[in-house]
A and B are shown apart, each in its own frame.
Chain A
């Protein structure tokens, strides 16, 4: 049973460019959340997708956008990259049961470096 998979594992971009990160949720999960984790800090919530719609959003600018596909996989897009966008981007999946103690399963992340 495959867990959460993310691609690519590493990515190097320059300021001003655009990037797309991809996530496939754990089998049976229908909800995907994206997080940004700077070095030495905890993950910061970007947004969550369920039924192909953005359901919740953290304190991130509109340069960060996403999409969820009918097969529950998801993409995170970041436009006009800044040096401060360098971080580990984590994807987590869960099953939206309405019971909020459902644990989230994380992928191993995409390490994004901005030069």
Chain B
């Protein structure tokens, strides 16, 4: 069964600090991995998308990494801002008609 596990479940950091969120998956055969940011009461917004051949991808202060061998991904947030407070969801798709498996997300709270 395809699974996506994210850690930690929740995280509190001070404004200006960096943090790293983890995503482990068992989805096979792998097609792509996406990170989404979901603000409270809003729909998820895509941050990055990576295919098998990509090791890292950046979007401003967000940098995602992918290790397809160990089936792990991380999302690194640099110089956090209050507006980074949100849920971050990892989504992994397989090549069987592009079915996607969602993680339960990491809830990040950035405090002043």
Residues of A in contact with B (beta carbons under 8 Å apart): 4, 35, 40-45, 55-56, 90, 92, 100-101, 103-109
Contacts and interface: CB of A to CB of B under 8 A. Distances in A.
A56 B46 contact: no
Interface string B31-56: 11010100001111110010100000
Nearest to A41: B104
B98 A100 contact: yes
Given A42-B102, A42-B103, A45-B100, A101 B31 contact: yes
Interface stretch (B61-69, B77-85, B89-97): B89-97
Q: Please classify the interface of chain B as helix (H, G, I), strand (E, B), loop, or mixed, using the class held by over half of its residues.
A: strand
B17 interface: no
Contacts of B51: 101
Interface residues of B, number: 24
Interface string B1-44: 00010000000000000000000000000011010100001111
A45 B101 CA distance: 8
Contacts, number: 49
Contacts of A90: 43-44
Contact of B32 (A42, A55, A100, A108): A100
Interface of B: 4, 31-32, 34, 36, 41-46, 49, 51, 89, 93, 95, 97-100, 102-105
B76 to A, nearest CB: 20
A107 B76 CA distance: 25
A4 B51 CA distance: 25
Given A103-B34, A107-B43, A108-B41, A45 B99 contact: yes
B41 A103 contact: no
A97 to B, nearest CB: 10
